Amino acid sequence: MKQYSPLRLLAALSLATASFFAQAATDLTVAYQTTVDPAKVAQADGAYEKAIDAPIKWRKFDNGADIIAAIASGDVQIGYLGSSPLTAAITRNVPVETFLIATQIGGAEALVARNGSGINNPQDLIGKKVAVPFVSTGHYSLLAALKHWNIDPSKVTILNLAPPAIIAAWKRGDIDATYVWDPALGAAKENGKVLITSGELSTFGAPTFDAWIVRKDFAAKHPDVVKAFAKVTLDAYADYHNDPKAWLANQSNIDKLVKLSGAKAADIPLLLQGNVYPLATDQAVLLGAPTTKALADTAAFLKEQGKVDAVLPDYAPSVNARFVAQ
């Protein structure tokens, strides 16, 4: 029987451990959307792959509902989506947990009325065609805005369109308004008027946020991967937060955001300023009562609108702060 020295055995075990970790992460597929945020630079630079020492398959999605379907099927392990589709997923018992609040949405999502549509104020929306991806944060915000303005949603023709289809319909003049994010938001603003932003709507009691979520089984098996993913994201946020002007002055950062988001370079500063990107110190608080309450409130609203059948008694099991280093 061949004998191994302790050092050789230790080296072999280390290689085996590294190989196992890499193999586990090799199967990692991450769903992202075209939102504008500082972590897109880390994505473009391959910082996530470096952190977990393994390749990542990045898949672009147009909306959170499709991401939830991919996560539920097991095709995706980590995904980026808004609070409305996240709430619907948790309420329907999709096995996911929120491990990072990616952004508190402000001006990066908005309701825009097309010039020439005859919409000059909210009441003019009655009888008009408004496009929005269903079960998205935009959809939630649109319904919340209509409620705020005392407009019956049944009196508005609300169309379920993905962002690329919204851009095409907007250019053809097939729709009168849309509640959406970039790049569709930028296209709409070219010949449209903003009626309300998600940031403004949050002051009326309907806040929205984007989050990074993970399948519970993947998180249980590979917590270090999830922790490394969270750290790269938060490091990117800190880099932007430390000196926003210098960050924006770096053309390389802008180019990478344009490539991954499809937004126009000129729009990126305002889009970044329109959202809040919570740092590590903020996450410990947010990944607790504020998020569980927001999910419960969103679920109650979605139930009222007939979008979910029930509201869970507790959303805390689907929110976890343990992956964020303090």
The number of distinct structural domains making up the chain is 2
Q: Determine the longest span between alpha carbons in the chain, in angstroms.
A: 87
Asked, for residue 56, whether it belongs to a domain, the answer is yes
Is residue 83 located within the same domain as residue 216?
Answer: yes
DSSP bridge partners of 215: 96
- pTM for the full model? 0.84
Give 132's strand partners. 160
Q: Which residues contact 131 (CB under 8 A, 6 or more apart)?
A: 158, 159, 160, 161, 165, 166, 169, 170, 175, 177, 178, 180
Q: Which residue range(s) make up the domain with 178?
A: 109-202
Q: Does residue 306 fall inside a structural domain? A: yes
How many contiguous H segments (helices) and E segments (strands) does the chain have? 16, 10
| Whether 212 and 98 share a structural domain | yes
Query: Has residue 162 been placed in a domain?
Result: yes
Residues 214 and 79 in one domain: yes
Is the domain of 268 the same as that of 229? Answer: yes
Condensed to tens digits (0 to 9), the pLDDT of residues 96-116 reads 999 999 999 999 999 999 999
Looking at 138, 168, 202, the residue that finishes a domain is 202
83 plus 149 within the same structural domain: no
Pairing of strands 29-32, 78-82: parallel
3-state secondary structure of 170: helix
Mean pLDDT of 127-155: 95
Residue 326 lies in a domain: no
220 & 294 share domain: yes
d(Cα 49, Cα 271) in Å, to the nearest integer? Answer: 26
pLDDT, position 15: 46
Residue 325 domain flag: no
Sort 242 into a burial class: Cβ within 10 Å, 0-12 / 13-18 / 19+: exposed
pLDDT given at position 304 = 87
Q: Are 225 and 296 contained in the same domain?
A: yes
SS3 39: helix
Say if 46 falls within a structural domain: yes
At residue 10, does pLDDT exceed 90? no
Of 12-21, 111-120, 196-205, which has the strongest mean pLDDT? 111-120
Strand order from edge to edge, sheet including 129-132? 157-160, 129-132, 177-181, 109-114, 192-197
C-alpha closest to that of 136 among 99, 174, 163, 107: 163
Sequence-ordered alpha helix ranges (H) in 162-288 = 163-172, 184-190, 198-202, 216-221, 223-242, 244-249, 251-261, 268-273, 280-286
Asked whether residue 62 falls in the same domain as residue 96, the answer is: yes
What mean pLDDT value characterizes the chain? Answer: 91
Q: Return the half-sphere exposure (C-beta side, CA atoms, 13 A cut-off) of residue 283.
A: 28
Mean pLDDT of all residues in 207-228? 96
Instruction: Give percent of the chain with pLDDT exceeding 70.
Output: 92
* Together in a domain, 122 and 90: no
DSSP state of 156: S
Within a domain: 40: yes
Q: Are residues 124 and 267 in the same domain?
A: no
Question: Domain of 30: which CATH number?
Answer: 3.40.190.10
Cβ-proximal residues to 205 (8 Å cutoff; 6+ apart), any chain: none
Q: Are 80 and 115 found together in one domain? A: no
Q: How far apart are CA 177 and CA 200, in angstroms?
A: 18
For residue 2, is it within any domain?
no
Q: What's the mean pLDDT in 254-273?
A: 92
Listed in sequence order, the residues at least 6 apart from 118 whose beta carbon sits closer than 8 Å to its beta carbon are 124, 128, 176
Does 97 lie in the same domain as 229?
Answer: yes
Residue type, 126: I
| Last-in-domain residue among 184, 202, 220 | 202
**Contact (Cβ atoms closer than 8 angstroms) between residue 94 and residue 220:** no
